[in-house]
Structure 1
Amino acid sequence: MKFDTVVLGGGIVGVSIAAHLQRRGQAVALVDRRPVGYETSFGNAGLIQCEGVYPYAFPRSLGKLLHYARNRATDVRYHPSAMLALAPFLYRYWWNSEPSRHAAIARSYATLIAHCVSEHRELAGAAGATALLRRGGWMKIFHSAAKQDEETRNAERWNREFGVAYESLDAAALRRAEPSLNTSLTGALRYTASESVSDPNALVTAYARYFEQLGGRVLIGDAATLEPQWKVQTESGPVEARSAVVAMGPWSGDMSAKLGYRLPLAAKRGYHMHYAAQDGARLNHPLLDVEKGFLIAPMARGIRLTTGVEFARVDAPKTPVQLGAVEPIARELFPLGPRLDDEPWMGRRPCTPDMLPIIGPARRHEGLWFAFGHAHHGLTLGPVTGRLIAEMMTGEETFVDPAPFRVERF
């Protein structure tokens, strides 16, 4: 089977790339070891974060570092056995999180974030999936006035720098917006221009179905069998292509290393569980409990509780201690009923130490392209990345300057 391009990875990024290339007249094969949308794209919080101009930084203050070093925080945990291997990555992540460097990173990152809602809307419209996208934003909720004031100052700065839209809610306004929440909360910030998704897996599946309607092929195969120039083994037989795109999320580091590229990629792992809502309770927005470090969101399957960050080796066994720690807190916040899943789901967010994704050509191999490292914003930036890579590969003028995301920076 011969194609113009083989895209490796069936998550939101890979599917979006495949659809955009197929739109431009290329013959594209999309290859993954599982059906599309069943790895990291399956279990995220469902946010399309146009307020997310500042990627999540590493803590810099001594107090916060000591707090997390105890490994008992609800928002961040780590496997001690992985720390030696992760230390070089974490040091570079810490260094890039210095405020002036972080601000410079945000100026580049914001060029992608600015298009996230419009690109999802356009692709969802073509795929017949707009019903899965919800307007109305999402909220950060607060237990203390001090934390609310701190986060409001951040929102004000993001508004000045990048035009981030938000509104501040006092306790009474929050109760009107979310009457089922615990009444002890002091208030909330609502990011009004951001959107959310009622079923991330269904959205990725819809985008993949649109890709197939355009003539693309979705194949089950082992991306690790990729060989220059360019062949990969699938259940339907070998696939050959003139170009290949590595969009394998947290496994992209292993694939690129096999081809001779030593890229600093690590995984922030996270967990989720679905619950029924008790006594007719209703959740109208995704809600991030900033002080406790978890998020609850209304999903097609129920109320999804997602955890913060776990630093560990990519394929280490599940250790959902964070989920166990935050579930009682979430039950006090909102009337959660019984668990709906047999066991916690775990996903892996692929991260670079400078918090920017890697998007562009791999210069040492003709026809090889990289598109990974989107960290917490893979769902947010999938269609943006798909369009940008497709424009670069087909020689079009790009709608975003790709220079900050080039692989050569490493």
Structure 2
Amino acid sequence: MDKYDAIVLGAGIVGVSAAIHLLRRNRSVLLLDKGLPGEATSYGNAGVIEREGFYPIVFPRGLGELYRIARNEEARLNYNRRFLPRLAPWLLKLRKATGQRGIDAYAEAMNPILSHAAAEHGSLAGKSRAVEFFRGTGWLKGYRSIASFEAGTKAHLALADHFGVRYQVLSNHEIVDLEPDLSPVFARAVLWPESVSVSSPGGVTKAHARLFELMGGAFAQGDAQSLRRENDLWVVDRASGPATAPDVVVALGPWSMDLLAPMGYRLPFAVKRGYHQHFRPRGDAALDRPVVDVDHGYVLTPMRQGYRITSGIEFDERDAPPTPIQIERIMPQARALFPLGDAIEREPWMGARPCFPDSRPIVGPAPKHPGLWLDFGHGHLGFTLGPATGRLLAEQITREMPFVDPAPFSALRFGR
């Protein structure tokens, strides 16, 4: 039976980052996943490290927006009506958590760690030889009317001013000057130059996983559900036999509660599904940065695999069959925005995002079990925050002074 100082369950960007940060603190670490690093949630996203992600996903309050959502014809949001009764308690918590007080609390909690996100990525990328994936061109959020720009940016830009985060409001002509191959469909756009993007989030995660092994970490495939407590140690099973450690980190993303619920944890957890698909450009059309079509709820971003379109949110059972209707709804708008050619994959890829109603992850000790640590629930900011929360968790495990206040990310905010 192999003994380690720590076992990390989950080899996405969150788990890999936590494992590296523990290695850096002279801990022996086993990283365990049922698959290979970077091939699940960490593969399918827009690849943006958001500096301005201090505005949460909010529950809609306007009657017009609620009516459109009720019709279930939105590209930004799709849901299975039969799933709504099970989701309703979480939605009510979301509504409570995203009033003005909740939005302000989220911004104050998230801004410190978001201010370090790009630097923490850079710290790992420099060692893992992943720098080639990164580009410092920011990203562009476009609005198709002056009305939608004013409604969608007022509060967000006020927070940016408050925290000193740079942005640039662009007119229709300035948008096309910046990205000449975009059609002039946006009335206004906001350029966020401090955000960073990558051409392959899965590639970045795989590069970090290779670094982890080069540093002396051990990776194995196995079932996190085999976790159990024996003689004050945590034990997991691998093909080569069991492994033990006094500390174990749950970084299983949307699968985290599969492990934690049977252990007695009742956290207000939900999963948001999403889709992406890659397309070839027509001719020599190109983009230098990700572009968000805010009114229609998708991101168009240049990736190594092609031009990736990522959809908005879908609420359904995590493991229900894919229903990529949002990609179908998006495509006419996306083709009108940018000269897209043929799809590269036959079917869209589907993934899931683990979310709490206050949009903050849990990063810290589990309240009921000594040596059990939690690092999940990052929502749409998993790729953004993975290296930063990995550092924050490792600092708590090794009893260092945390580089940001961990209290806003404590599991105790939801009770014991």
Task: Determine if the TM-score, normalized by the shorter chain, exceeds 0.5.
Answer: yes
Relative to structure 2, which stretch is displaced further, 303-312 or 113-122? 113-122
Q: Which residue of 1 aligns with 2:12?
A: 11
Matched ranges for 1:239-318 at <5 A: 239-318=243-322
Does structure 2 conserve the Cα–Cα contact (< 8 Å) formed by 1:8 and 1:30?
Answer: yes
How many angstroms does 1:152 deviate by? Answer: 4.2
Please state whether the residue corresponding to 2:223 is helix, strand or coil.
strand
Aligned-pair identity (%)? 45
Whether 1:403 aligns to 2:407 is yes
Residue-by-residue CA offset, 1:297-353 (whole Å, 9 max, x unaligned): 000111000000001111111110101111121111111110101321011010001
CA distance in 2, matches of 1:44, 1:167: 24
Does the alignment pair 1:381 with 2:385? yes
Query: 2:8–2:248: 8 Å Cα contact kept in structure 1?
Result: yes
* Cα drift, residue 155 of structure 1: 4.2
Q: What residue in structure 2 maps to residue 141 of structure 1?
A: 142
Tell me if structure 1 keeps the 8 A contact 2:253–2:354: yes
**Match of 1:218?**
219
- Cα shift readout 1:49-68 (whole Å, capped 9, x = no counterpart): 01111122121223222221
State yes or no: 1:238 paired with 2:238.
Answer: no
Q: Tell me which moved more, 63-72 or 214-223.
A: 63-72
Q: Give the Å deviation of 1:363.
A: 2.5
| 1:321 aligned onto 2:325 | yes
Partners in 2 of 1:58 and 1:38 — Cα distance? 30
Output the CA distance in 2 between the equivalents of 1:156 and 1:278: 35
Q: Secondary structure at the match of 2:276?
A: strand
- State the alpha-carbon separation in 1 of the partners of residues 48 and 113 from structure 2: 15
**Aligned-partner residue type, residue 384 of structure 2:** T
What is aligned with 1:160?
161
SS of 2:83 mapped into structure 1: helix
CA deviation profile, 1:379-410 (whole Å, cap 9, x unmatched)? 00000000000000001100011111111111
How far the C-alpha of 1:159 sits from its partner, in A, is: 2.2
Q: How far did residue 154 of structure 1 move?
A: 3.3
Structure 1 residue 248 displacement after superposition: 0.3
More displaced stretch, 246-255 vs 96-105: 96-105
Cα distance change, pair 361–64 in 1 and its aligned pair in 2 (3 A): same
What CA distance in whole angstroms lies between the structure 2 residues aligned with 1:152 and 1:245?
A: 37
Moved more, 324-333 or 267-276: 324-333
Q: CA contact under 8 A between 2:22 and 2:394: conserved in structure 1? A: yes
Q: Which amino acid aligns with 2:253?
A: G
Pairing 1:50-129 to 2, within 5 Å after superposition: 50-129=51-130
Alpha-carbon distance between aligned partners in 2 of 1:240 and 1:3, rounded to the nearest angstrom: 6
Q: Which moved more, 1:48-57 or 1:386-395?
A: 48-57
Matched, 1:344 2:348: yes
Tell me, which stretches of 5 or more residues in structure 1 are unaligned?
Answer: none
CA distance in 1, matches of 2:377, 2:52: 19
Residue correspondences, number: 410
Q: Gaps (5+ residues) in structure 2?
A: none
Q: State which drifts further: 356-365 or 373-382.
A: 356-365
1:17 CA displacement: 0.2
2:181 partner letter: S
Distance 1:321 1:2 in 2: 47
Tell me if the contact between 1:357 and 1:374 (Cα under 8 Å) persists in the aligned partners. Answer: yes
Distance 1:91 1:328 in 2: 33
Compute the RMSD of aligned alpha carbons.
1.1
- Tell me the distance in 2 between the aligned counterparts of 1:87 and 1:154: 27
Asked if the contact 1:247–1:371 (Cα under 8 Å) also holds between the matched residues in 2, the reply is yes
The CA deviation string for residues 146-169 of structure 1, in whole angstroms up to 9 with x for no partner, is 222334423430222211210011
Name the SS of the counterpart of 2:307 in structure 1. Answer: strand
Q: For the Cα contact (< 8 Å) 1:221–1:234, is it kept in 2?
A: yes
Deviations 1:168-214 (A, max 9, x none): 11111111111111123223110010000110000000111111111
2:15–2:252 contact (8 Å) kept in structure 1: yes
Q: TM-score, normalised by structure 1?
A: 0.98
Residue 41 of structure 1 aligns to a residue in which SS?
A: coil
Aligned residue for 1:44, secondary structure, equals coil
Aligned to 2:207: 206
Matched, 1:195 2:196: yes
Instruction: Please state whether the residue corresponding to 1:303 is helix, strand or coil.
Output: strand
Partners of 1:60 and 1:98 within 8 A in 2: no
Greater mean deviation of Cα atoms: 372-381 or 119-128: 119-128
